[in-house]
Amino acid sequence: MEEAKQKWYFRKSILVLVFLSVGPLVLPLIWINPGFSRKLKITLTVVILLLSYLAVTMTMRFVSGLREEFQQIIQQSS
């Protein structure tokens, strides 16, 4: 599909921007995109889900670490 005739929400730059903004909510746009093969759609889905899982896991670890640090600060100041 030519870039000029492609709808704006199917452009790769928009898909990357949507992924960076709302994560796995970009998956419906990927699956309805006629320019992607089925194999690419499956690959992108797996990659996006893995990246989203890693982001959530890292965020949870970070918050847990912060909580522990704040508890130590509170205990030391008491």
- Type of residue found at 45: T
Which residues, including other chains, have CB under 8 Å from residue 11's CB and lie 6 or more apart?
Answer: 3
Stated pTM of the model: 0.77
- Torsion angle defined by CA atoms of residues 8, 10, 12 and 18, in that order, rounded to the nearest 10 degrees: 90
pLDDT, averaged across the chain: 91
Position 78 confidence tier, pLDDT thresholds 50, 70, 90? confident
Burial of 19 (0-12, 13-18, 19+ CB in 10 A): buried
Residue 10 has pLDDT above 90, yes or no: no
Alpha carbon 38 to chain centroid, angstroms: 20
Residue 2 has pLDDT above 70, yes or no: no
Position 25 confidence tier, pLDDT thresholds 50, 70, 90? very high
